[in-house]
Structure 1
Amino acid sequence: MKDWDSLVAFALTLPDTIAATYYGGPAVSVASNGRAFVSTGREAGSFVLSIDTDTKALLLETDPATFWQTPHYEGWPALLVRYDNEDPTRVAEMVARARDQAAARKPNKPRKKA
């Protein structure tokens, strides 16, 4: 996954996924519940992976060259992933894990209009 387009192409091969938006930017979500698991970030050369905090901590500790965060992501179940990395197989596995975690969650509740 060398860029956003190749990441999306891979993510859309996973079961029950659709191209979507998340906080106004491009994302890939689980179709049945609307939960995004990858999205674009503000940081060049990286994407956002939504994943549980235990896995996040492990990834940050074991491969900080690929998996990293800015203060914006501290305390949240998401981290940044560099497109240019030495282990694309591990990244693909983490994207699939994030999809599985998102699929297991309840659907998003509709927001109340003001």
Structure 2
Amino acid sequence: MNWDDVVALAAELPETEESTWYRTPALKVAGKGFARHRTEAEGGVVFFCGLDEKAALLATGDPAFFTTPHYDGYGSIIVDLARVDPVQLKELLVESWRRKAPKKLL
């Protein structure tokens, strides 16, 4: 999986646009970011999720999921696109979109 795959999956979600966020490629719904392609050394894509889901993903030990101290205490997870299962990626993408989308789109 790569960023182009994420963009293609997101194209199925209403009012999604490719944009930038913190000067990096991002996806937004109704102007709110829900996925950011990190250019930092660790790479990955940031998605929003619940704190419980984040803890559960990290507890699996799956190398596809990680975080950095910057995201401690926040409902967001970093996903390694080279390692993530495509089905899980889509689930995380949709969940992140749902967390940022206006109620009228849900």
* TM-score, normalization by structure 1: 0.77
Compute the RMSD of aligned alpha carbons.
Answer: 1.9
CA separation in 1, counterparts of 2:21 and 2:50? 18
Q: Which amino acid aligns with 1:85?
A: R
Q: Which residue does the alignment assign to 2:86?
A: 88
Across the two proteins, how many residue pairs are aligned to each other?
A: 102
Q: After the TM superposition, which parts of structure 1 deviate over 4 Å for at least 4 consecutive aligned residues?
A: none
Helix, strand or coil: the match of 2:17? strand
Equivalent residue for 2:11?
12
Check 1:69–1:10 CA distance in 2 against 1; reply closer, same or farther (3 A cut).
same
Deviations 1:70-103 (A, max 9, x none): 1121112222101122521011111111101111
2:37 corresponds to which residue? 40
- State the TM-score, normalized to the length of structure 2: 0.82
1:3 and 1:30 map into 2 onto residues whose CA distance is 20
Unaligned runs of 5+ in 1: 106-114
Listed as ranges, the gaps of 5+ residues in structure 2 are none
Retained in 2: the 8 A contact 1:45–1:83? no
Deviation at 1:30, TM superposition (A): 0.5
Aligned sequence identity (%): 34
Which amino acid is 2:63 matched to? Answer: A
Offset of 1:104 from its aligned partner?
4.3
Task: Please tell me whether Structure 1 or Structure 2 has the larger radius of gyration of its CA atoms.
Answer: 1
Q: Using the alignment, how far apart are the partners of 1:24 and 1:86 within structure 2?
A: 24
**SS where residue 75 of structure 1 aligns?**
coil
